[in-house]
């Protein structure tokens, strides 16, 4: 009888372990499943003003392109205010 009780308890524990991934999946938010639409913009290399871009279709905008010179310094931005 004792052996049957141990087998039953082990079966319950093993069965409950299979349910853990199901509960973990339910905890995900919608935000983690959405795609990110990223746009890259460099004012010096792109002649179009920011106002004319369709930024409403983007979730992120990266403005981070610097041009290195041969001596290791960087080319100065002509429009740093953007």
User: Residue 81: its pLDDT value, please?
Assistant: 60
Contact 81, 73 (CB under 8 A): no
**pLDDT computed for residue 43 by the predictor:** 63
What integer pLDDT is reported at residue 48 of this predicted model?
72
Phi then psi for residue 43, to 5 deg, are -55, -35
Query: What was the pLDDT predicted at 9?
Result: 79
Confirm if 66 and 75 have CB atoms less than 8 A apart. yes
Per-residue tens of pLDDT for the chain, all 82 residues: 777 777 877 777 777 766 666 555 555 555 556 788 888 877 666 677 777 878 888 888 887 667 788 998 888 776 666 5
């Amino acid at each position: 009888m004792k052996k049957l009780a141990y087998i039953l308890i082990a079966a319950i524990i093993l069965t409950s372990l299979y349910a853990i991934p199901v509960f973990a999946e339910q905890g995900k938010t919608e935000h983690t499943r959405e795609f990110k639409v990223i746009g890259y913009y460099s004012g010096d290399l792109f002649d179009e003003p920011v106002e004319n871009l369709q930024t409403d279709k983007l979730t992120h905008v990266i403005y981070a392109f610097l041009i290195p010179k041969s001596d290791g310094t960087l080319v100065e931005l002509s429009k740093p205010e953007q």
